[in-house]
Amino acid sequence: MAGFGSFLEVLISGLLAGVLYSLVALGYVLIYKASGVFNYSQGAMVLLAGLALVRALGFFESQGIPYAAALVLALLFAAAVMALTAWIIERFILGPLVNQNELTLFMSTIGAAFILEGVAQMAFGSEVYPLRMFPKDAWILGEAYFPGGILINKLDIWGGVIAAVLVAAIALFFQRTKTGRALRAVADDHLAAQSVGIPISWIWFVVWFAAGLVALAAASVWGTKLGVQFSITFLALKALPVLIIGGFTSVPGAIAGGLIVGAGEKLAEIYLGALIGGGIEYWFAYVLALSVLMVRPQGLFGERLIERI
């Protein structure tokens, strides 16, 4: 039974880690679904949000403000930073690029990623800053059934809760609000949306701000896990396979993709890694994503395009 116990532990920790990837992937889906832009700078936004949060928290605490109040203030400050970022990106980068093709927009977000990384580190510093928003200890479950029990991190559970809240909020936003419907129109066709009077710049600001808030949520969890540091931007690369497995446009897809990648990665590392060498976590998710795409080129939950001529 030890084998099954450890399998279960690996599976559960993988699934929970996957939810954390989904947190980052949600930011991409939001922007792609709403503006047709593939936002490479999502990772940089997580870094910026995390740095703003952790440095503001430190500042407010050093002023003698109690932790809870300081945390609220710091969250508000970081949200304001993300709002400013959204405004600047819309005003100076995406606004002038309306109606350009996907590739140009994608490249411009790589440019934006460089700018954000530079600005974030210049303004808030470039060291590793520990964050302790969430508990980092673990529960041990099922000791009666398995020797040693199953280890579950409380942080991962928090990540799951936050992801669930975000998904519900985003779904409501897209389906039930006027802005949400306008967003979908803009994603379909910039020009057509403009011509029926949808204020595209306002829409883009809203959606980038929302993605900024998602980045803030991701930063609070990942920052607790790893400390806020530059390498957090590499999360972007971790979230991409999640994104293509789920489909660029699907919110549930981002969650499902995260679960698949998280579980697959951990299981592969333990069982396959023993055969062909360690560190396969590095590429396994991508090969998994590639295989999914070979079967379903639009991802598991993506919308299928009918080719016409």
Residues contacting residue 152 through CB under 8 Å, at least 6 positions apart: 12, 13, 16, 138, 139, 140, 141
Nearest Cα neighbor of 180 from 13, 28, 33, 22 is 33
Q: Compute how many residues bind another protein; rule: CB under 8 A.
A: 49
**Host H or E run for residue 121:** helix 102-124
Residue 182 Cβ vs another protein, minimum distance, rounded to whole Å: 23
Q: What is d(CA 285, CA 297) in angstroms, rounded to the nearest whole number?
A: 16
Q: How remote is the C-alpha of 182 from its chain's centroid?
A: 23
Asked if 201 is part of the footprint of another protein (rule: CB under 8 A), the reply reads: no
Site for another protein, residues 102 to 121, rule: CB under 8 A: 102-104, 106-108, 110-119, 121
Q: How far apart are the first and last CA of the chain?
A: 59
Asked if 197 is part of the footprint of another protein (rule: CB under 8 A), the reply reads: no
Q: What is d(CA 243, CA 261) in angstroms, rounded to the nearest whole number?
A: 10
Q: What is d(CA 203, CA 187) in angstroms, rounded to the nearest whole number?
A: 10
Using CB under 8 A, which of 4, 7, 92, 202 touches another protein? 92
Site for another protein, residues 216 to 275, rule: CB under 8 A: 237, 240-241, 243-244, 248
Looking at beta carbons only, is 223 or 247 nearer to another protein?
247
Residue 25 Cβ vs another protein, minimum distance, rounded to whole Å: 12
Site for another protein, residues 288 to 307, rule: CB under 8 A: 289-290, 293-294, 297-299, 306-307
Of the CA atoms within 13 Å of residue 130, those in its CB half-sphere come to 3
Looking at beta carbons only, is 89 or 221 nearer to another protein?
89
Looking at beta carbons only, is 126 or 177 nearer to another protein?
126
Where do contacts with another protein occur on this chain (CB under 8 A)? 38, 92-93, 96-97, 100, 102-104, 106-108, 110-119, 121-122, 126, 237, 240-241, 243-244, 248, 277-280, 282-283, 286-287, 289-290, 293-294, 297-299, 306-307, 309
